[in-house]
Amino acid sequence: MAIMAIIFAVIVLQFRVIQNSWDSQVGAAETLQNGRVLMDHLYRNLSKAVRITAVSGSAETNGYVEFQDNDANNIRYDVNSTTNYVQFGAVGDLSELAGPVSQLQFTCYDGNDLDTPITDVTAIRCVKVETTLSNTGPGQDKGFSTWAYLRTNFQDDDTGGEGWTISKPYEPWLEFDPDTGMEPALVHMSGTKYHCAYRGDRDDGYACIFTVDTGDWSVSASGFLEYDTKNGGAPALARIDDGYSLCAYRGDGDDGWACVLYELGAGGLDKASTVEFDTEDCWDPALCKIKTDGNDHYYLCAYANTGTGVQALVLQVTLIPYVMMNLTAGPAFPFDVGGTSPALSKIDDTHYLCAYTGGYGDGWSIVLTVDTVDWTVCGVTLFGFDPYTCVAPALSKIDDTHYLCAYEGADGDGWAVVLNVDTGNWTISQGTNFEYDTVQGGAPDLSKINNTDFLCAYSGPGGAGMAVVLTVNTGDWTISKGTPFTFDPAPFPAPALCQIDAGHYLCAIGGTDAHGFTGVLEVTSGVPPLMP
């Protein structure tokens, strides 16, 4: 018995050593995996940031960073003081990402000096992130670090739009539909993939997938789908997730229709969950994402009805991939009889700026409010920003209270103005109207380059496809322009834009003989982007 007791005592000690070793290895593996996921998440999101808006000091070990993404959303990383987990998400709506951590440290630099830390958000071009993940087992904690360069930030050359040059890095552009490719809409999905919806052959609704080769900037098309065999006018697109997009359009009977487009495993496209959200008519719909709540995705849709004028409603997509999809529409809110051609830009989750053509062809705007309980829409005071002419306006967010609006103005020329939203009472004011094309400026579309510069594509003199950089002076909210660039001489292209990166923009047009064309526009600054 004594011998057996001695043997068991020795064996138990060995088992304890083995168990401790196993727990240590499991803890180390889990810590390593969490660290890799966290570093990849930080790198991918920070490197795509338009600008840093707030950051902790370089000595702060439980730090934070806030930045603006390409959709003008304010995003934040910080540490939950209770659980010590890293949090991520829209400001005010964070979710735990990885952890626990004992360090999350952000050190920022400009593009020319990687030795001197800075906190001036207007000059930050490079962010170093250091974190230490706590080992949940008996092993040691593990440290990780990564660097992220803000590719979408450019050094300001203080020359306004004149400091920018626009070109086509790859020619010829792709003729993606040799029959008809009018009124295209674009949305970025994931990586180098983009969905395109357009009015195709016999005015039916068509969609396809564009893939951009970032080596030579050529574009290929695949997965063609005829999503409506009766009508598909003026489609608008919004991303749901990496493989699903929402399309609203003028469908059968000129009524308002919407459907979910989704990618197939073989690289094709299909549609599901169609809803007729207006049984009378629908002209020039616009979409803007409100938010995602679990499996539910909410979108504001504004459009024109001949009888009731411009109105807005909420479309809800319930999506469980490979299981079910459902699309429903809420009640419509009419806000200006006779109005047409609405454009939308998100202010926050419950407020949206809408610019549109008024009943007399003039320019009007309104802040729409979405009730996120019953998903109804309402609005406050209307504001007229051009008393003469405004056709087919486009909007792009400058900051939380200022928005650039481009439109076809008096005499069919190209005009732009900065709209200012008072977030206290949701009223609107404006800057000085600017005529960026004195001959013609039809059907403009806008894409943000940085905090003050915007690429504007439009139908120029003779209907040719034109592009110009518009620069906003954030001191007095005046606008200047660069040298216009003709990218397609064919008439009436009605261009659509979608940003690829800070210097490249996917453009789709209805070009020669109304065929569909797409290609890349390259925008370069007078001062090159700041590289670490």
Tell me: do 331 and 434 sit in the same domain.
yes
pLDDT digits (tens, 9 = 90+) for 476-499: 999 999 999 999 987 767 899 999
Residue (of 520, 497, 523) closest to 184 by Cα position: 497
Domain end, chosen from 97, 114, 149, is at 149
Tell me: do 184 and 279 sit in the same domain.
yes
Look at residue 171 and tell me whether its pLDDT is greater than 60: yes
Look at residue 379 and tell me whether its pLDDT is greater than 80: yes
Amino acid letter at 191?
G
Domain end, chosen from 149, 174, 197, is at 149
Average pLDDT, the chain: 88
Residue 61 domain-assigned?
yes
How many whole angstroms separate alpha carbon 27 and alpha carbon 405?
A: 54
Tell me: do 331 and 217 sit in the same domain.
yes
Residue 532 domain-assigned?
no
Tell me: do 282 and 346 sit in the same domain.
yes
pTM above 0.85, yes or no: no
pLDDT digits (tens, 9 = 90+) for 432-465: 999 999 999 999 999 999 889 999 999 999 889 9
Query: Does residue 36 or residue 508 have the better pLDDT?
Result: 508
Domain range for 250 is 160-525
Q: Tell me the C-alpha to C-alpha distance, in Å, between residue 476 and each of 146, 402, 418, 422.
A: 39, 12, 10, 16
Residue (of 397, 398, 396, 385) closest to 357 by Cα position: 385
> What average pLDDT score do residues 374-395 get?
95
How many whole angstroms separate alpha carbon 396 and alpha carbon 500?
A: 16
Domain end, chosen from 106, 129, 149, is at 149
DSSP 339-405: -EEEEEEEEETTEEEEEEE-TTS-EEEEEEEE-TTT--EEE---EEEESS--EEEEEEE-SSSEEEE
How many domains would you assign to the chain? 2
Least confident of 289-298, 321-330, 341-350, 399-408: 321-330
Is residue 74 a contact partner of residue 53, using CB atoms and an 8 Å limit?
A: yes
Tell me: do 215 and 144 sit in the same domain.
no
Tell me: do 129 and 184 sit in the same domain.
no
